[in-house]
Amino acid sequence: MFRMPAEWMPHERCWMIWPRRQEVWGERMAATKRAYAAVAQTIARFEPVTMIASPDDLAEAERLCGKGIELLPLQVDDSWARDSAPCFVHDGQGLGAVCFEFNAWGGKYHPYDKDAAMGAALAGHLGTSMIAGGIVAEGGAISVDGQGTALTTESCLLNPNRNPGKSKAEIEAALKATLGLEKVIWLPGDVNETETDGHVDGIAVFAGPGRVIIETPADPELSYADALNANREVLRASRDALGREFEIIELGAVEGVDAQGADFSTCYVNFYIANGAIIAPSHGVPEDETARDVLAKAFPDREIVQVPVSDIAIGGGGIHCITQQQPRVSAAHS
């Protein structure tokens, strides 16, 4: 049976996509590209990285990323690999690429036809099985433990801009069938988050079997504090596919950077689990050290490496949003 391994299982490589959509980054586009390159270079210390770039951006990507980063020319619209690249699964023998239908987070950006074709293009490049996801979804909407449980959010996958006419049960059935799941835990999400409609990877992520890191409000008076607290309460009342209660690890959001824009991603939970390391966001503020300590305790066997993300966060996402892991087939179920 194909199953999506947990992110902490060994990776074959990390996939990223070079920034392309000018309307997202505006005057910070040059700084954003340097920030993407810095993330790629950091991850490459621990596992191979392939940067997908539109053919006319290839030379620039090569120059800024430097040695050690592989490049793959493909036509792209945007630069969020977590969402337009496939979710990789495998059955212990071979790799599969689950390609959910992509509609640019409910039609928020146009055009998106190249990104909608990304999953099939990447599966073709790898020569691996392509599995139709059957629903509109993005990788950032899903966090799995590799043991049959997934976290997702109602505010995203039940949003009418994703799957109109499909019931919650139908969406859940599609996730179970394609990702090898036994149980889907639906967190409320965040209806006020306007870029992704409340992706789970900006709220809560698995840190191990039965362990979840969840964002808590930096300030209980902030507008989204009620939403974050509601997510935590649902998680506390839930059990995973094996019947375990969750160990909940709280990680506060960063304060004092909201002035950078309404879409600015302030969460620390949007990190990437690399082979032997956690690649985590930093903002140059005191909370960075607190976040580092929480992650070090949660992942005592991994090096914690923080990378400045303000020039990425301005676009509404973070390190996890711009990466997608490809599991190592021989180790994904060990």
Burial of residue 167, with CB atoms counted within 10 A of its CB: 0-12 exposed, 13-18 middle, 19 or more buried? exposed
Total residue length of the chain: 334
Burial of residue 175, with CB atoms counted within 10 A of its CB: 0-12 exposed, 13-18 middle, 19 or more buried? buried
CA distance 276 to 10: 9
Residues 71-80 as b or e (16 or more Cβ within 10 Å = b): beebbbbbbb
Phi, psi of 241 (to 5 degrees): -65, -20
Burial of residue 209, with CB atoms counted within 10 A of its CB: 0-12 exposed, 13-18 middle, 19 or more buried? middle
Helices (H), the chain: 22-25, 29-43, 58-65, 81-84, 104-107, 113-116, 118-126, 154-157, 168-179, 225-236, 287-298, 310-313
Q: Which residues are identified as catalytic?
A: 321
> 58, 73 in Cβ contact below 8 A?
yes
Query: Which residues make Cβ contacts (< 8 Å) with residue 165, sequence separation at least 6?
Result: none
> 32, 25 in Cβ contact below 8 A?
yes
CA distance 68 to 189: 38
The strand order across the sheet containing 143-144 reads: 143-144, 149-153, 183-187
